[in-house]
Homo-oligomer: A and B are copies of this chain.
């Protein structure tokens, strides 16, 4: 009987997050204000608590996870690692495929790893109310969950097209006591402006960010919370990779390949940074693969440049891979990967040569999801299917090369709220999008300080 589930005892859970800024050979470029000058912590203090701002710029390698955050993590963490032996058999591969299962969190994805930390630090700072945005709804529900735990009121601006298509996500937020409103809304100046221009504006993640930031910046009792992209968010997610190292170590395994999907970059950062640490500091031989959709090819076709994080240009300007903040990706079903930019830290590890980026089309990632569901049982989210597809790709390569490779990928979330996308796929109704390079070139012209 093969062992398929590798648990870690709760008492052995890591007690610190890993901050990769301490180890980057070339440090991050600073965030800029609209005038092109570096902004200091004060500029962020209107919407973030000082403790998170400190984490954002910290150069400390290890940062203690506070007891109440560990306590909240312990509602489901440590998350299990599974060996996908039935998928291996179906692929007739000599490779061993392991996946870290983040779908076991109450919200169904990796997002609570940071929503809980952010809610805690805000509660510590006396904040009673937080706004945020959400696309497909994973982040919004994760913050709603964390708000319930720490007694913080949560208001979520949800991209209108998703709000209408995914009513269960809105209901889930309500169950945890949060308010969820479709964006653009009449609750902000920016939202009202857009609705005046077009009452049927379907919304976008960039627009929802602008609304949430505006409300937090203009209300003294309200802070803002972001579910990906920022340095402190990536750091909170490193609990994923740190746990996985302990678990694999307990069975004497170190991976040859580590895989995660990228939208804003946080789940990929979570699984990969602890391994990139080994690569940087011990010259460890491990391939790190970041996977994105062909329809939103931020890293594979974008530029490494300064750009706005949101559509309205209210958020700070970050050095990152970007397709231009006016880029509007097609409505693919991996809603969480439809973002024009990329976490500055993830951008840096790609740019500094530690990570290979790769893209897949949506029909091939659903092929992978169906094969996974019918062999391993668990139904992955469309975002996660990108990582599944890459893991299958690596396992097939191992078969062709006759190599006994060990593959680890991050199973970022389950697909129980995405079944209508599977339904369209099974009915042969999904399109593959190849973004024309002229459209990308056009959006890149909007970069604020392009050389």
Contact = CB atoms under 8 A, between A and B. Distances in A.
Given A1-B67, A70-B1, A416-B416, A106 B378 contact: yes
Contact of A377 (B76, B378, B379): B76
Given A171-B419, A416-B168, A176 B373 contact: yes
A422 B374 contact: no
Interface string A75-108: 1111000100010000000000000000011111
A377 B419 contact: no
Given A104-B104, A145-B377, A174 B2 contact: no
Contact of A10 (B3, B10, B373): B3
Contacts of A426: 174-175
Contacts of A2: 71, 74
A138 to B, nearest CB: 13
A376 interface: yes
A159 B5 CA distance: 35
A75 B81 CA distance: 11
Contacts of A78: 5
Counting every copy of the chain, the complex holds 2
Contact of A172 (B149, B168, B172, B419): B419
Given A175-B426, A419-B172, A74 B374 contact: no
A419 B374 contact: no
A370 interface: yes
B377 A149 contact: yes
Interface in A1-43: 1-5, 7, 9-11
Interface in A310-349: none
A177 interface: yes
A5 B74 contact: yes
A75 B2 CA distance: 11
Contacts of A177: 374
Nearest to A420: B171
Nearest to A171: B419
30 contacts: A1-B71, A1-B74, A2-B71, A2-B74, A3-B11, A4-B71, A4-B74, A5-B77, A5-B78, A7-B7, A7-B9, A75-B82, A75-B86, A86-B149, A104-B104, A105-B377, A106-B373, A106-B379, A108-B416, A167-B420, A168-B419, A171-B420, A171-B423, A172-B416, A174-B426, A175-B374, A175-B419, A176-B373, A176-B374, A177-B374
Q: List the 3 closest pairs (A to B, CB-CB), nearest first.
A: A106-B377, A171-B419, A148-B374
